[in-house]
Amino acid sequence: MDSVIARAIKAQYEPVALLFSEELPEGAMQFAEGKWGCVMWLLLAAAAKGRPAAADRRTFGCLGGGTGLGFGNQYENWPGGIECFYNFLSTGNGPQDGSGAATAPGLRRNAASDLAYGERYIKTPEATKKFVDALPMIDVPTRYVVLKPLAQVRPDERPEVVIFLVDPDRLSALVVLANYGRPDNENVIIPWGAGCQTIGILAYREARSERPRAIVGLTDLSARKYVAKQLGHDLLTFAVPLAMFREMEANVPGSFLERDTWRELMADAEEREKGEGRR
Q: Residue 167, class by beta-carbon neighbours within 10 Å (0-12 exposed, 13-18 middle, 19+ buried)?
A: middle
How far apart, in whole angstroms, are the C-alpha atoms of residue 25 and residue 57? Answer: 16
- Cross-strand partners of 166: 236
For position 34, what pLDDT does the model report?
A: 83
Residue 259: its pLDDT value, please? 97
User: Within a 13 Å sphere around the CA of 153, how many CA atoms are in the beta-carbon half?
Assistant: 26
* Angle (deg, nearest 10), helices 39-48 and 221-231: 30
Contacts of 105 (CB under 8 A, 6+ apart): 34, 35, 36
Predicted local confidence at residue 231, as pLDDT: 86
pLDDT of residue 105: 53
The predicted structure's pLDDT at residue 236: 96
The half-sphere exposure of 31 on its side-chain side, counting CA atoms within 13 A, is: 26
On whether the CB atoms of residues 75 and 67 are closer than 8 A, the answer is: yes
| Consecutive H or E run containing 142 | none
Phi, psi of 191 (to 5 degrees): -75, 150
The Cα–Cα gap between 154 and 107 comes to 35
Strands 236-241 and 214-217: antiparallel
Residue 98: per-residue pLDDT:
47
Residues forming a β-bridge with 139 = 71
d(CA 168, CA 233): 11
Q: In this predicted structure, what is the pLDDT of residue 76?
A: 96
pLDDT at position 181 is: 96
| HSE-CB of 266 using CA atoms within 13 angstroms | 19
Residues constituting the chain: 279
Angstrom distance (rounded) from CA 8 to CA 143? 35
pLDDT (tens, 9 = 90+) of the chain, 279 residues, equals 889 999 999 999 999 999 999 999 999 999 999 889 999 999 998 988 899 999 999 999 999 999 999 999 999 999 999 999 999 999 999 886 545 555 555 566 667 889 999 999 999 999 999 999 999 999 999 999 999 999 999 999 999 999 999 999 999 999 999 999 999 999 999 999 999 999 999 999 999 999 999 999 999 999 999 888 888 899 999 999 999 999 999 999 999 999 999 999 999 888 877 776 644
Which residues have a Cβ under 8 Å from the Cβ of 97 and sit 6 or more positions away?
A: 80, 84, 115, 116
Predicted pLDDT of residue 106: 58
- 152-38-75 Cα angle (round to 5): 115
pTM equals: 0.92
